[in-house]
Amino acid sequence: MDLEAAIPEFPGLTKEQQRTVLEGTERRIVDEFRLDASNFSETLFTLAELNHQLIDQVRKYQSFIDEHILWIRSTDPFGTTDLSNLWRSLQELLDLSKWKEVPRTLLTDLRSNPSIYSLAVAVLAILLVYTKPMRKTVQSLGVTASKSNTTSFSPTLKVITLCVLMSLPLTLLHLLFGWRLTTQASGDKFVESVGFGLLVGARYFFPLEFFRQIVRNGGLAETHFQWSTHATVLLRKHLRWFIDLGIPTVILIAIISHASEPRWENSIGRIAFCLLMFVSTIFLLIVLHPYRGVFREYISQHRGGWIDRLRFLWYFGLALAPIVMIAMSLMGYHYTASRLAMHFHTSIMTLLGLFLLYFTIWRWLLLQRRQLVIAQARARLEEARRRDADAASASAPLGAATVTLETGSDLSQINAQTIRLVSSTLIVAAVAAIAFIWSSVLPAVGALDSVTLWTVAGSTPDEKLPVTLASLLLAIPAAIMTVVAAKNLPGLLEIALLQHLPLENAVRYAITSISRYTILILGIAMTFNSLGVRWASIQWLVAALGVGLGFGLQEIFANFVSGLILLFEQPVRVGDVITIGDTTGTVSRIRMRATTVMNFDQQELVIPNKDLITGRLLNWTLSDATNRLVIDVGVAYGTDVTRACQILQEICLAHPNVLKNPEPTAFFEVMADSQLTIKVRIFLASLDLRLPTRHEILTSIQHRFQAEGIQIPFPQRDLHIRSLPPEFSIGLKSQ
């Protein structure tokens, strides 16, 4: 719109003057708008800053309350007043008029949402109908898994799935009724509390029922995880009554807690809580007993270990912990006891979950190891068949070869490394999980981050970053896990990944070595970073040390770099047969500083890596393991050498270890003093075949020459006597 057309004309002013007035008015209005917008923006920024400060203050107060509220009495000690209120509270809780609202609410919800209940009934009916077939399937899969030649992990996965499905019917029933009651309560606090109690009961019921299905007869624990029969029978027997008594008590406690009735909480609530803790104590005393409990076989097999030495400490510590919570509840710390009981239960369930995870991984590793053993056995049998089709080893059963290989040092070392790595990882995970669970309860754990040990320089000269006690506690497991992973990674990589890839043994060794170095570097960096030692603050020191060590320990650095070249370029690989100097042997290890070569007398020669890179060596198996064997055969003068060469070539062609391409040759080359020398040249596929092939061919030559009438000569000499003693001369003349 034109501004001049919108505003009336000013009398007595020209058009130019009117335009000037209008422009000045426009600028003044715009400036006022800009000033108002700037003031409004500053006000918004100020309010946002105040809002952030308020949020930070609220968080500080919340953290302070969380750290200290647990150690404040939530009620008076249990006394005569609570006993007098017990009967009245029990009457109020068992009032039929309140409980009638529960089925009434469910019926109303059924009429409103029939599809939800129809779907739930269908799922429950399917689960109940197939419960018996699922149990039979678990039994049959257990028989399959218990066989020594089973290599598939799918039966274990199927049994785990079936255990979950068999644990679902009652759990789904609790969840269905609890969900519908909490959503359809319509302001009825008691109905909502009942629904909440059923939901809590489902949370506690499912893991216990799942564990009971795991330890069933012929189930996952016995046949797959190879637990002792004593442990599974004990758990089956006592889990049944513990679930029947504990879960209803948990539901009752949850109903009372959600109802928010102080009289119920202080009387019936505390009695139910103490009953639950007492039942838990009885269960733990029976199950965890060192000599009659589930760990009886483990302790008997590991006499003198830490578990055995500290058996009374952990046994009474775990079993009598619920008694301590009973005392705290009766003394007035009921809220504290309830929170501690919840964290105690969560900790036990976490440890139990990690325990089952360990045995699942152990089962998978066992099956992977079996696959590796069987593959090696088949490879060895195929090699035996290829060498000699009529050999006895070609018809030997696979199980015998498997047993022989399974006791080999390499497989045992791989298995031990993998188990140590998995165990260490799960132990660190368990410690971290327990620390996380209890960090909100114990102020000492939450306060570790406030204990400053020292400060380090930040990104700016004036900035100081604190290194707290929590950082130190984080650096310790990081360093431990770095060492454990670096030592035990080869076994895990071999079983889990490398055996499934088409890689040579030398390539696998290079991958594991480089992975070990990478883990060491990353672990050291993480550990030092947790302690405040960052690269920006030590790079000049590292550079100075690098120059100094480079001059002072140049041979060490040269060997280290040479070791990296060996791993990447691979002129020498693990398993190669090399000759260096006057030593011939097999490369057994390539380390950071030196390479170990084992000669045929089982003696280990440690060679600096620099000598392998800069010196001369003979690698018999670098690109091809094919090698030539030369045999000198002597025949007597007068022998038909053409026939002898033909016989030697026939013997070589008939031997299974001799390659047909290149073809073996036999040539008459030397006329010696006492014999005619024929040189036989044959080619073998492997260096391991040299000695047995030489022995077998020489044996065949001797037998064949005897049959053909070809004489193998012995050295002959003409003796010329120049002089003899007189008595010898008289004796010779008399004869």
Q: Which residues lie below 8 Å from residue 663, measured CB to CB, with a gap of 6+?
A: 653
What mean pLDDT comes out for the span 331-356?
Answer: 89
pLDDT of res. 542: 62
What mean pLDDT comes out for the span 48-69?
Answer: 79
Rounded Cα distance between 399 and 408, Å, is: 15
Percent of the chain exceeding pLDDT 70 equals 80
Rounded Cα distance between 172 and 192, Å, is: 18
Last residue of one domain, picked from the residues 43, 69, 95 = 69
Q: Is the pLDDT of residue 206 over 90?
A: yes
Say if residue 590 is in the same domain as residue 664. no
Residue 565 domain flag: no
Say if residue 94 is in the same domain as residue 12. no
What mean pLDDT comes out for the span 342-363?
Answer: 91
Residue 504 per-residue DSSP state: -
pLDDT of res. 370: 82
What mean pLDDT comes out for the span 143-152?
Answer: 86
The helix (run of H) or strand (run of E) holding residue 306 is: helix 306-309
Say if residue 445 is in the same domain as residue 517. yes
Q: pLDDT, tens digit, for every residue of 537-589?
A: 556 656 666 666 566 566 777 777 777 777 777 788 777 888 888 788 888 88
Residue 402 domain flag: no
Say if residue 61 is in the same domain as residue 104. no
Return the number of other C-beta atoms located less than 10 Å from residue 173's C-beta. Answer: 15
Q: pLDDT, tens digit, for every residue of 425-468?
A: 787 788 888 878 887 666 555 556 666 776 766 656 666 777 77
At residue 715, φ and ψ (nearest 5 deg) are: -60, 135
pLDDT band (50, 70, 90) for residue 407: very low
Residue 269 per-residue DSSP state: I
| Count of the separate structural domains present in the chain | 5
Lookup: tokens for 692: 């047995």
Q: Is the pLDDT of residue 21 over 90?
A: no
Strand order in the sheet with 627-635: 627-635, 676-684, 665-671
pLDDT band (50, 70, 90) for residue 404: very low
Say if residue 87 is in the same domain as residue 46. no
Q: Report the phi/psi class of residue 626: left, alpha or beta, with left for phi > 0 and alpha for psi in -120 to 50.
A: beta
pLDDT of res. 405: 35
Q: pLDDT, tens digit, for every residue of 8-18?
A: 555 666 667 66
Q: pLDDT, tens digit, for every residue of 81-118?
A: 777 778 888 888 888 888 888 999 999 989 998 999 99
pLDDT of res. 234: 93
What mean pLDDT comes out for the span 250-279?
Answer: 88
Residue 274 domain flag: yes
Say if residue 52 is in the same domain as residue 99. no
Return the number of other C-beta atoms located less than 10 Å from residue 306's C-beta. Answer: 9
CATH code (residue 687): 3.30.70.100
- Rounded to the nearest 10 degrees, the angle between the axes of helix 270-287 and helix 321-330 is 170
Residue 620 vs residue 701, higher pLDDT = 701
Say if residue 514 is in the same domain as residue 605. no
CATH code (residue 574): 2.30.30.60
Rounded Cα distance between 562 and 365, Å, is: 35
pLDDT band (50, 70, 90) for residue 399: very low
- Its sign, for the CA torsion 388, 392, 396, 402, is negative
The helix (run of H) or strand (run of E) holding residue 446 is: helix 443-446
Last residue of one domain, picked from the residues 619, 654, 678 = 619
Return the number of other C-beta atoms located less than 10 Å from residue 350's C-beta. Answer: 16
576 lies in which domain range?
570-619
Q: Is the pLDDT of residue 409 over 50?
A: no
pLDDT of res. 417: 66
Say if residue 159 is in the same domain as residue 240. yes
Residue 426 domain flag: no
What mean pLDDT comes out for the span 638-651?
Answer: 87
Say if residue 129 is in the same domain as residue 60. no
Residue 76 per-residue DSSP state: P
Residue 723 domain flag: no
Last residue of one domain, picked from the residues 318, 350, 370 = 370
Say if residue 451 is in the same domain as residue 512. yes
Residue 257 domain flag: yes
Residue 564 domain flag: no
pLDDT band (50, 70, 90) for residue 326: very high
Say if residue 225 is in the same domain as residue 319. yes
> How does the average pLDDT of the chain come out, rounded?
80
DSSP 395-429: GS-HHHHHHHHHT-HHHHHHHHHHHHHHHHHHHHH
Say if residue 488 is in the same domain as residue 595. no
Residue 332 domain flag: yes
Lowest mean pLDDT, pick from 158-162, 346-350, 587-591, 695-699: 587-591
Q: Is the pLDDT of residue 210 over 90?
A: yes
